[in-house]
């Protein structure tokens, strides 16, 4: 896969105060998918489903999980 074959969606898919089934959302999408799920204050919550190495334009990458 080339470095440009990923799908990055910046729209806020769920809005505020919605229950999000992250596992179902991840399973419903192909690898190399990135979606903004919701916003919290001045930040966004994003889901990324990737295989291999991701080379993006962001200078900061944080990965965390709480599930």
* Closest by Cα among 30, 26, 47 to 38: 47
Per-residue pLDDT of the chain (67 residues; tens, 9 = 90+): 455 577 888 899 998 888 999 889 888 887 888 899 999 888 999 988 887 776 665 534 444 444 4
Please give the model's pTM, rounded to 2 decimal places. 0.61
Position 65 scores a pLDDT of 44
Position 57 scores a pLDDT of 55
Position 12 scores a pLDDT of 92
Distance CA 66, CA 51 (A): 21
* Closest by Cα among 15, 10, 16, 17 to 46: 10
Cα dist from 49 to 16, 41, 53, whole Å: 22, 24, 11
């Amino acid at each position: 896969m080339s470095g440009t074959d990923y799908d990055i969606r910046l729209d806020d898919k769920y809005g505020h105060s919605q229950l999000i089934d992250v596992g179902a959302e991840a399973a419903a999408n192909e690898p190399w998918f990135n979606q903004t799920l919701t916003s919290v204050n001045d930040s966004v919550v994003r889901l990324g489903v990737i295989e291999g190495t991701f080379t993006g334009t962001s200078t900061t990458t944080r990965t965390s999980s709480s599930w």
